[in-house]
Structure formats: structure tokens, C-alpha cells
Amino acid sequence: MPPGRITDVPWDAGLAEEMRARQEAVPEERVADLLLADLARYASAGE
């Protein structure tokens, strides 16, 4: 299944371009645990 609309993001300039080239997308729901763990590490590093 090809991805829908791919939006550029400020934190990774090449991400959207690479996703368009590969015709792939990663739904946030598939990586939610990883994303939340990254946010928790980022938040605890700021304390």
C-alpha cells in the first residue's frame, strides 16, 4: 500500500524525501512505544 500525504518535518530534513523515494511510510501507531521511550529519555535528560 503506498503512503498517503507525506509531510516534511523540521527534525529530519531528509525523512520525507526518503519516504517518497521508497514509497513507504511508518504509521506512528506501529512505533508508538519507541517514540514514547525516546520522549521519556529526552524529558529526563532535561531535568
Q: What is the pTM of this model?
A: 0.55
Read off the pLDDT of residues 8-29 as tens digits, 9 standing for 90 and up: 989 898 999 999 999 988 888 8
> What is the helix (H) or strand (E) element at residue 34, kind and residue range?
helix 32-45
> What is the helix (H) or strand (E) element at residue 44, kind and residue range?
helix 32-45
User: For position 45, what pLDDT does the model report?
Assistant: 83
% pLDDT > 90, the chain: 36
- Contacts for 6 with CB less than 8 Å, ≥ 6 apart: 16, 19, 20, 25
CA 5 and chain centroid, separation: 14
User: For position 3, what pLDDT does the model report?
Assistant: 77
- Contacts for 7 with CB less than 8 Å, ≥ 6 apart: 16
